[in-house]
Amino acid sequence: MSVILITGCSTGIGFATAETLSRNGHTVYATMRSPERSPELQQLATDNDLSITILTLDVLDDHSVEDAISKVISKEGKIDVLINNAGIGSWGAVEELPMGSFKADMETNYFGTLRCIKAVLPGMRKRKSGTIINVTSVAGKVFSNFHGSYCASKAAVEALSESLAQELKPFNIQVSIVEPGVIETPIFNKVNTVPAGTNYPNIKRFLSIFSASLENHIPPSVVADVINGIVSGESKSLRNPAGPDAAGLLQWRNSTPDEDWVSSGGGNEEDWANGMEQMGLGVTKYLKEDGLPEIKQQVKLKAELQ
């Protein structure tokens, strides 16, 4: 069984992954920025006698990362698996989204991941053993309008992971990417507000896709199961789509010429909606919502009902 450190475990995918891996016999160190605000995982571990230890770790802080990893190594002697899951997301038009949102997405999703990787690598390299799992998103390969900040941060992790995988091959260290589709998690409750007076009304289309997709109620546990498959050795793949829509979305983008993909951002609303409906996404009713803030709240509400 493995000693595993996971970032971003207060809710969603991190929470589910900590539970799944511990139930499969692994020793799990579940980290989060403010454990005192999220006592549920510790209670779950206590009630079910799970091997989960909660640690404070802020992926934005060098000292916090080094301190948490030192505590694990001091007690266990090693970290077999690092799972970089902590993440945030912004949406909005590139012109209108503040620079601070772009910086925040990149700092957490990319630099936070990089910071943790650099902290565990010396030990893994010396032992010539280890696994690094980076949770990205289909958005790291499927770049859509009004999602530029988040897509850029996840694409950066995809590129880093592929480069890293080649570097670490001689040291018997596996690097895997997990690419979730639309998963019902609280990340939707943490995104920025879309301005009511936006100059880009087509953002309604973007938000309606999420509203329609969340009707499928795909739980974080489906991503946790994919991660468990990597940890157990069932998957040696670099990239691992997670969720029933993930592989289809990736294939759709790969099969669409770039010019056609770009053109999909225009066109009339009826034709666009019909295309989405043919793909099984009932977006029309959300496009009829009165105003952008209302659609945004609908997305949040659906994510809360998990």
Alpha-carbon dihedral sign for residues 261, 262, 268, 273: positive
Provide the pairing of β-strand 27-32 with 52-56. Answer: parallel
| CB of 8 closer than 8 Å to CB of 187 | no
Alpha-carbon dihedral sign for residues 76, 84, 60, 120: positive
Instruction: List all residues 6 or more positions away from 217 whose beta carbon is below 8 Å from its beta carbon.
Output: 184, 305, 306
For residues 105 and 109, give the distance between their C-alpha atoms in angstroms, rounded to a whole number: 6
Q: Is 200 a catalytic residue?
A: no
A 10 A CB-CB count for 169 gives 11
| CB of 6 closer than 8 Å to CB of 213 | no
8-state DSSP, 128 = T
| CB of 14 closer than 8 Å to CB of 86 | yes
Catalytic choice (29, 110, 150, 286): 150
| CB of 264 closer than 8 Å to CB of 276 | no
Helix (H) or strand (E) holding 82: strand 81-84
User: At 94, is the secondary structure helix, strand, or coil?
Assistant: coil
User: At 20, is the secondary structure helix, strand, or coil?
Assistant: helix
| CB of 117 closer than 8 Å to CB of 164 | yes
The values of phi and psi at residue 250, to 5°, are: -65, -40
A 10 A CB-CB count for 1 gives 11
- Provide the annotated active-site residues: 150
